[in-house]
Chains A and B, each alone.
Chain A
Amino acid sequence: MFLGSLFVNRESFRTYVKLIIDESILVGVGSIFIVVIVSTFMGAVTAVQTAYNLVSPLIQDYIIGTLVRDMTVQELAPTVIAIVFAGKVGSSISSGLGTMRITEQIDALEVMGINSVSYLVLPKVIAAVLMYPLLVILAMFLSIYGGYLAGTLTNIITEQEYIYGIRLDFNPFTIKFAMIKSVVFAFLISSISAYKGFFTKGGALEVGIASTSAVTNSCIAILLADYLLAQLLL
């Protein structure tokens, strides 16, 4: 019902264009810093730990590059960044809407004859679905680059070996798979968080509870969807 009401009795198209641009800046540009930090270190740690576990002389060092690439593209970038995204954007959506609810701002919209679900939630969901895949692409590049930096600066692997490793047996479908996952995760995070925030009752304490619940439920949904998509698509 909640998702259904996103698409009924909407305002004019131009109203949504501005809202979607504003939300995209908030959701996308506002998340770049944390995505840069997390993904760079994620790749660096993956490279160092893979090197630490490669004790057999039969396995070549360039495998480090291959493993960083595959782990990043298939799992770390779309899924781990989704958890971070849920923590940052999900909690922001939930607490923002929760505060609007308890301070009667949502009631004010309803009294004006505006479909508050559509006006407040639809732009957030669209912005998240548009911006999160871009953040995942950024995270992929930075994670692989983080692995490169960690590997070459600590002499675990040479530059040539790492480049050779990340090019080895590359399957383009993994990118498509990651993009499908990122769209699904973005939709889950934004809609679950919006739902939790929109139906907040009570005061400031309940806004906090709604925000925590939004992040927890989003994380569970992400992991379930991750498993289901892996089963279905791989």
Chain B
Amino acid sequence: MIEIEHIKKSFDGKEVLHDISGRFEAGRTNLIIGASGTGKTVLLKCIVGLIAPDEGNVFYDGRDFTHADRDLKTEIRREIGMLFQGGALFDSKNVQENIMFPLNILTDMTVDEKLDRVNFCLQRVGLENVNQKMPSEISGGMKKRVGIARAIVNNSQYLFCDEPNSGLDPQTAILIDNLIQEITKEYGITTIVVTHDMNSVMEIGEYVMFMHQGYKVWEGSSENISQAEAKELQDFIFANKLMRMMKSS
């Protein structure tokens, strides 16, 4: 479980996160949603420690990450897997080397053990026979899957996904969403997904935190999101024609 308390962050005097608190339980897909530029990715980066918050605390299963010393921070980070928006696969390494990378650095496994684990993870994300391909040779959807495989290869306890289905067609986007949810349930990990895609919200949103202009406006589940009263959330949900049609029907 990850808890955040009173997170604040400013850039050049402009506050982009205003006192955000929340609790992300293990074994369910937690979504942070909102329009572009609303501070979702900044919040995610504060949680994983890529950006230091100005105020507030982040707790990983009760361990204070924000004020942890270097050793504890490293220990916690080695339990984290993250899928970046663009995949962030290492260009100079092929798919197999990319997925094997955390094992090479963080474990003492033998080459055969590592290879077995890589193939298992590739199979888990629905990819086979792509081990020797370079990142430039695979599609956007495949990159995301390889990114997920890399994120889970080291038995991560915490999975973070930044816009996992951006730039993907609707069918592939749903496949990626479902894959994230399956992995979360299967391994009982704490998953936080940052997205602005309402399809994702409806598909896998077990806990949803809605942000608007740096504020947490609403939290709840996808089942009761459409009944939420916050105007900003209503505007966000029913921004597209399909959702408006569904609402009116």
What residues of B have a CB within 8 angstroms of the CB of A8 in the complex?
A: 70
Whole-angstrom CA separation of A108 from B101 in the bound complex: 11
- B202 interfacial contact with A, CB 8 Å: no
Q: Interface-forming stretch among A82-90, A111-119, A152-160?
A: A111-119
Given contacts A11-B105, A107-B50, contact A113 B77 (CB under 8 A): yes
Q: Is the CB of A105 within 8 A of B88?
A: yes
What residues of A have a CB within 8 angstroms of the CB of B49 in the complex?
A: 110-111
Contact of A112 among B45, B70, B77 (CB under 8 A): B77
- B18 interfacial contact with A, CB 8 Å: no
- A103 interfacial contact with B, CB 8 Å: yes
Name B77-98 residues within 8 Å CB distance of A: 77-78, 80, 82, 84-86, 88-91
Q: Is the CB of B88 within 8 A of A110?
A: no
A107 smallest CB distance to B (angstroms): 5
Contact of B82 among A11, A100, A108 (CB under 8 A): A108
Given contacts A112-B102, A114-B105, contact A104 B78 (CB under 8 A): no
Q: Is the CB of A107 within 8 A of B88?
A: yes
What residues of B have a CB within 8 angstroms of the CB of A107 in the complex?
A: 45, 50, 84, 88
What residues of A have a CB within 8 angstroms of the CB of B160 in the complex?
A: 111
- B242 interfacial contact with A, CB 8 Å: no
Name A102-149 residues within 8 Å CB distance of B: 103-105, 107-108, 110-114
Q: Is the CB of B86 within 8 A of A111?
A: no
What residues of A have a CB within 8 angstroms of the CB of B85 in the complex?
A: 104
A121 smallest CB distance to B (angstroms): 15
Q: Is the CB of A112 within 8 A of B50?
A: no
Contact of A113 among B78, B84, B86, B101 (CB under 8 A): B78
- From B78, which residue of chain A is reached at the shortest CB distance? A113
- Between A100, A103, A107, A111, the greatest number of chain B beta carbons within 10 A of the residue's beta carbon is seen for A111
Whole-angstrom CA separation of A10 from B76 in the bound complex: 16
Contact of B88 among A9, A15, A104, A114 (CB under 8 A): A104
Whole-angstrom CA separation of A110 from B89 in the bound complex: 13
Contact of B50 among A9, A15, A110 (CB under 8 A): A110
What residues of B have a CB within 8 angstroms of the CB of A104 in the complex?
A: 84-86, 88
- A99 interfacial contact with B, CB 8 Å: yes
Q: Is the CB of A108 within 8 A of B88?
A: yes
Name B60-88 residues within 8 Å CB distance of A: 70, 73-78, 80, 82, 84-86, 88
What residues of B have a CB within 8 angstroms of the CB of A103 in the complex?
A: 86, 88, 91
Whole-angstrom CA separation of A111 from B197 in the bound complex: 24
- B48 interfacial contact with A, CB 8 Å: yes
Q: Is the CB of A111 within 8 A of B74?
A: no
Mask: chain B, 20-57; 1 = CB below 8 Å from A; 0 = not: 00000000000000000000000001001110000000
Q: Is the CB of A111 within 8 A of B105?
A: no
- B106 interfacial contact with A, CB 8 Å: yes
Q: Is the CB of B91 within 8 A of A105?
A: yes
A20 smallest CB distance to B (angstroms): 15
Q: Is the CB of B74 within 8 A of A9?
A: yes
What residues of A have a CB within 8 angstroms of the CB of B48 in the complex?
A: 111
Given contacts A104-B85, A108-B84, contact A113 B90 (CB under 8 A): no
Other A-B contacts than A107-B84, A111-B48, 13 sampled, CB-CB below 8 A, are A9-B74, A11-B105, A103-B88, A104-B86, A105-B88, A108-B90, A110-B50, A111-B77, A112-B77, A112-B80, A112-B102, A113-B75, A113-B77
| 18 A-B pairs whose Cβ atoms sit less than 8 Å apart in the complex | A8-B70, A15-B105, A104-B85, A105-B90, A107-B84, A107-B88, A108-B88, A108-B90, A110-B77, A111-B77, A111-B160, A112-B78, A112-B105, A112-B106, A113-B75, A113-B77, A113-B80, A113-B106
